[in-house]
Amino acid sequence: MKIYTLILATFITVPLMGQFKINQSSGKISFYEVNAVSFEGHSGSEILISPEDDDFEKPERAEGLKLISPAGIVDNSGIGLSVVTEGSETAVHQISSRSDTRYTVKVPAGVSIYYECTTHAGRTVMVQDLASELEISANFNSVELERVSGPLAISTVHGSIEADFTEISQDNSISLHSVHNHVDVSVPSDAKASFRLNTSWGEMFTDLDLDYGQRDDLRQISSKKIAGKFNGGGVDFSLTSTHDDIYLRKK
Amino acid sequence: MIFHSPQRTMIFISAKNNLMKTTIYAMIALLLPLLLSAQRDIATSQSSAGIKMLSVNSTWTNIKIVNWAGNEVKVEGQVSINNGLNDDAYEYTLEKRGDVLLFESEIPDLDDLPRFVTYEQDGQKIQRLVDKDQGWSSNDLWRENGIAQISIGPIIEVELTFYIPQDLSLQVHQVHGDVQMDNVLNEMDINTKHGHVEAIFSNDIPEHCKISSTHNFVDVSVSNKEKLDLILRTNHGDIYSDLNLNYNRARCSDEMYNSKIVASVNQGGGAELALTSTHGNIYLRGK
Amino acid sequence: MNDDDILIKYLLGELAEQDAADLEARLRKDPVLQNELDLLRAVWDKSQSIPLAQPDVKATQRFEQWLADQEATTVAPATKALRMWRYAAAASVIMLLGAFWILQKPAISEESNGSTQTDLLHWAAEESSTERIKGIHATVREKEADPEIVEALLKVLRDDKSANVRLTAVEALQTMGSGDNVKQGLLKALATEKTPVVQIAIINVLVGADAKIAKEGFQNLINKEEIDSTVKDEAQLGLMRL
């Protein structure tokens, strides 16, 4: 068994064309204006960043030249990104502000992720199998999360947030906030959570049996703000959609 | 070379029921083998005495510019339109207007010229004459063959070289056609719409150099010892360089569809180089 | 600078290297000066245990008592003038150190009952944004609308570097009622906040609280060129609803 694992590991660490490796298994990695990213947790001890198709596009004519940007940052990774590590913090900037190359980022569980993207060029952030803390501050990106078990602080102005949880750690705090788009979340039927749902102009839909608490003998039957406990309550779970709808589903 | 060898070019005559048209096309088919070897040579020149500026206002021309020691502007090259069939359709003038030498070119009867559809199939370049009234896009034949690269229109190949003295200021405005400059040291303002611009400045560079293309790339090589003040701009493209740039952060900007780099090389204070490509890339090389 | 200032700066670690070396050389030769330094240091050590929440009067009274005790045991020539000088110097140290603390984040003090700013601020130094968000939720959960909590939330809204944490602070302020302190605080934050999602949240909380005073603030946002157009739309909507 051990021998097999060793051999597998060797295969995994053989670098693919155009992959960038960062020796970091704790601390934080921050992404600025990297338009299209997919995050994945993995059991390795490095952060791996690969452009889609493992081959970063560069015109033949640009052979020998570096992609440069008005921000004064330079592609030092060979894959259209500036990657700078100081101590246990890495900052990643995209050189070409209009590029829609999608980067897959594999992250060890001990590294927390910050993602910021302010322009129209922002694409859906795909997240799967992630145990790391994830913070997203986006204007146009939508976010899709699958099998995410770490703490989340996600806000987007124009994008939607869709999340499918298979387990919810009680140590976490989860807040998902969209201004103009919907928030759609599925949780396991035995999850223990204290939900806070908030919408100003949208509707809220749920098939969860939430305990809204009572004031005197009255049940809350309608509000644009709902606080309800699921399975007795637990992790702080806040869903907000200012102008659109919220869906909270049982798996 | 503009001439295509018979092996590479096969000219088909599109079958039409109309007898009249068939006759005309049959005639063309007979004449073409003779015309295939034809092209039109161009040569013209004007004295540059008393001239301050050369202004080139042209289209459908690939232009190469070089400096020379003569005191005249000489233009020479070849024209081939529809493989020699319509060489005369290209018109040009080089004349003196006050202290400006003006070169203009155009193809006034462009819309009346026979059109060819040019495409690649099985590695071969094929050109087919298209009937004026027939819309090619509705023809099943094209769709069936799954042809990728199609261009349609008269086959225009014009290559001109401009020999110009260094002391004139140079202004070029091109619609279709590329511009290539080899160590041209005139103060310049070069602009192309659809073509690209390539310029090499091996040892020296004009004090003021403005080069732009709307739809295509701009590729400039300079000596990396040159002192330069740069403005590099693109709306939809990317900027590539290997020079050691000192960015003027306050003047650089990167908006959604508008990127601008303002920087200096070797402390600046030397030549001012402004490169712009709206839709294409900018390549700036130091040698 | 007179000796008072030099000694106080030395204790606070603010003397330049050369000046500190000069002072130390002097101290070795001048026992009176050394004694004054010892006195100041003793005052400083003692005042570290005085909780911030205690009223000044009590602190002064305790200090006076302690000073009296010190004078009874001190060896230095205790002339009246010197006593007054020591009193003034020490009092100024207390005030200086008091001011010093107000500007710093204090550690949790068991004696500061009801000082919610301190409670809240203990997690404000957390590296993780989600931990700070948890901190906000924990604080707000148990307490009723409390002016100190409002102040603390407004401080987070001003200072936290994470837009998501600031957003949580705004959402928490929404539950703090529609008192003037909430409205004024939010309006002030709106003028300086740069992140669209937080700006929009503030606008909506103000609208929800029917804060008519916010009208001008909203109009300013609409007029400012650099403001994101989505934020301007929200401000416009807000104006219509107010």
**Predicted structure pTM score:** 0.72
pLDDT at C217: 93
**Cβ–Cβ < 8 Å for A114, A133:** no
Contact B238 A67 (CB under 8 A): yes
Contact B239 A68 (CB under 8 A): yes
Confidence check: pLDDT of B13 > 50: no
Chain A residue with the nearest C-alpha to that of B243: A65
Is A66 an interface residue toward B (CB < 8 Å)? yes
Contact B252 A71 (CB under 8 A): yes
Q: Which residues pair with A226 in a beta bridge?
A: A197
Cα distance between residue C84 and residue B164, in whole Å: 93
Residue B122, sorted as left (phi over 0), alpha (psi -120 to 50) or beta, turns out to be left
Cα distance between residue B103 and residue B90, in whole Å: 13
Which helix (DSSP H) or strand (DSSP E) does residue A93 occupy? strand A89-94
Cα distance between residue B73 and residue B69, in whole Å: 10
Is B243 an interface residue toward A (CB < 8 Å)? no
**Is C16 or B212 the better-scoring residue by pLDDT?**
B212
Which phi and psi (to 5°) does residue B218 adopt? Answer: -125, 125
Angle at A188 between CA A187 and CA A193, to 5 degrees: 65
Nearest CA distance, C206 vs chain A (angstrom)? 13
Nearest CA distance, B260 vs chain A (angstrom)? 6
pLDDT at C113: 39
Residues of chain C with C-beta less than 8 angstroms from the C-beta of A240: 171
Nearest to C161 by CA among B87, B272, A114: A114
Confidence check: pLDDT of B276 > 90: yes
Contact C130 A139 (CB under 8 A): no
Confidence check: pLDDT of A179 > 90: yes
Contact B261 A61 (CB under 8 A): no
Nearest CA distance, C1 vs chain A (angstrom)? 41
- DSSP conformational letter for A74: B
Is A71 an interface residue toward B (CB < 8 Å)? yes
Confidence check: pLDDT of B12 > 50: no
Helices (H) and strands (E) in chain A, counts: 1, 23
pLDDT tens-digit map of C143-192: 666 888 899 999 999 999 999 999 999 999 988 888 899 999 999 999 99
**Cβ–Cβ < 8 Å for A104, A49:** yes
pLDDT at C65: 65
Q: Which residues pair with B18 in a beta bridge?
A: none
Nearest CA distance, A57 vs chain C (angstrom)? 32
Chain C residue with the nearest C-alpha to that of A138: C197
The SS3 assignment for B79 reads strand
Nearest to A131 by CA among A99, A172, A164: A172
Confidence check: pLDDT of C39 > 90: no
**Helix, strand, coil share of chain B (percent; to 5):** 10, 50, 40
Q: Is the dihedral angle over the CA atoms A54, A59, A62, A68 positive or is it negative?
A: negative
The SS3 assignment for A102 reads strand
Angle at C171 between CA C168 and CA C175, to 5 degrees: 135
Q: Which residues pair with A229 in a beta bridge?
A: A194, A211
Cα distance between residue C55 and residue C50, in whole Å: 10
Contact C200 A177 (CB under 8 A): no
- pLDDT mean over B44-54: 96
- What are the tokens at C207? 């609208």
**Cβ–Cβ < 8 Å for C9, C97:** no
* List of residues 6+ apart from A187 with CB closer than 8 A: A165, A168, A193, A208, A230, A237, A248, A249, A250, A251
- What are the tokens at B146? 């799954």
Which helix (DSSP H) or strand (DSSP E) does residue C151 occupy? helix C147-159
Give me the amino acid identity at A238.
S
- Out of B71-75, B137-141, C96-100, give the one with best mean pLDDT: B71-75
pLDDT at C116: 53
- Out of A135-139, B150-154, C3-7, give the one with best mean pLDDT: A135-139
Contact B219 A62 (CB under 8 A): no
Confidence check: pLDDT of B71 > 60: yes
Contact A61 B217 (CB under 8 A): yes
- What are the tokens at C240? 């219509």
**Cβ–Cβ < 8 Å for B143, B117:** no
**A–B touching, 3+ CB–CB pairs within 8 Å:** yes
- Residue of A157, A168, A180 to mutate, interface with C, max C Cβ within 10 Å: A157
DSSP assignment of B112-175 equals GS-EEEEEEETTEEEEEEE-TTS-GGG-HHHHHHT---EEEE--EEEEEEEEE-TTSEEEEEES
**Cβ–Cβ < 8 Å for B260, B252:** yes
- pLDDT mean over C47-72: 53
Is B285 an interface residue toward A (CB < 8 Å)? yes
pLDDT tens-digit map of B234-246: 999 999 999 999 9
Cα A213 to Cα A247, B123, C145, distances in angstroms: 20, 75, 19
Nearest CA distance, C177 vs chain A (angstrom)? 14
Contact B240 A70 (CB under 8 A): no
Residues of chain A with C-beta less than 8 angstroms from the C-beta of B252: 70-72
Exposed/middle/buried for C234, CB within 10 Å: 0-12, 13-18, 19+? Answer: buried
pLDDT at B4: 40
Maximal CA-CA distance, chain B:
73
For chain B, the distance separating the N- and C-terminal CA atoms, rounded to the nearest angstrom, is 30
Q: Which residues pair with A89 in a beta bridge?
A: A28, A86
A244 Cα distance to chain centroid: 21
Which helix (DSSP H) or strand (DSSP E) does residue C154 occupy? helix C147-159
> ipTM score here?
0.88
Give the model's confidence band at B188: pLDDT under 50 very low, under 70 low, under 90 confident, else very high: very high
Chain B residue with the nearest C-alpha to that of A98: B256
Q: Which residues pair with B48 in a beta bridge?
A: none
Which helix (DSSP H) or strand (DSSP E) does residue B258 occupy? strand B258-265
Residues of chain A with C-beta less than 8 angstroms from the C-beta of B284: 65
Residues of chain C with C-beta less than 8 angstroms from the C-beta of A87: none
**Cβ–Cβ < 8 Å for A162, A145:** yes
pLDDT tens-digit map of B74-102: 999 999 999 999 999 999 999 999 999 99
- pLDDT mean over A202-227: 79
Would you kindly state where each structural domain of chain A is located, as residue ranges?
2-250
Confidence check: pLDDT of C118 > 90: no
Chains that touch B (3 or more CB pairs under 8 A): A
pLDDT at C28: 83
Nearest to B155 by CA among B235, B213, B211, B85: B85
Confidence check: pLDDT of B14 > 70: no
For chain C, the distance separating the N- and C-terminal CA atoms, rounded to the nearest angstrom, is 57
Which helix (DSSP H) or strand (DSSP E) does residue C86 occupy? helix C80-103
Is A97 an interface residue toward B (CB < 8 Å)? yes
- pLDDT mean over B154-167: 96
Nearest to A128 by CA among A155, A101, A154, A107: A107
Nearest to A247 by CA among A211, A203, A209: A203
Chain A residue with the nearest C-alpha to that of C131: A173
Contact A98 B256 (CB under 8 A): yes
A14-52 burial, b at 16+ Cβ within 10 Å, e below that, comes to eeeebbbbbebeebbbbbbbbbbbbbebbeeeebbbbbe
- pLDDT mean over A26-44: 97
Which phi and psi (to 5°) does residue A248 adopt? Answer: -125, 110
Nearest CA distance, B285 vs chain A (angstrom)? 7
Cα distance between residue A143 and residue A38, in whole Å: 10
Q: Which residues pair with C100 in a beta bridge?
A: none
Residues of chain A with C-beta less than 8 angstroms from the C-beta of B231: none
- pLDDT mean over C15-36: 84
Q: Is the dihedral angle over the CA atoms A22, A24, A29, A35 positive or is it negative?
A: positive
Nearest to C174 by CA among C153, C158, C152: C153
Nearest CA distance, B228 vs chain A (angstrom)? 17
**C–A touching, 3+ CB–CB pairs within 8 Å:** yes
- Helix residue ranges, H only, A56-163: none
Is B43 an interface residue toward A (CB < 8 Å)? no
| C164 closest CB neighbour out of A28, A137, A179 | A137
Cα C210 to Cα B8, B94, C180, C242, distances in angstroms: 79, 75, 11, 6
Q: To 10 degrees, what angle do helices C180-192 and C147-159 make?
A: 0
Residues of chain A with C-beta less than 8 angstroms from the C-beta of C127: 28
| B247 closest CB neighbour out of A66, A72, A121 | A72
Give the model's confidence band at C84: pLDDT under 50 very low, under 70 low, under 90 confident, else very high: low
Confidence check: pLDDT of B3 > 50: no
User: A with C: how many residue pairs have Cβ under 8 Å apart?
Assistant: 73
Confidence check: pLDDT of C10 > 50: yes
Give me the amino acid identity at B84.
G
Cα distance between residue C12 and residue C8, in whole Å: 6
Give the model's confidence band at A18: pLDDT under 50 very low, under 70 low, under 90 confident, else very high: confident
Q: Of B227-241, C26-40, C65-79, which range is least confident? A: C65-79
Is C236 an interface residue toward A (CB < 8 Å)? no
Q: To 10 degrees, what angle do helices C229-241 and C215-223 make?
A: 150
Confidence check: pLDDT of C107 > 60: no
Maximal CA-CA distance, chain C:
76
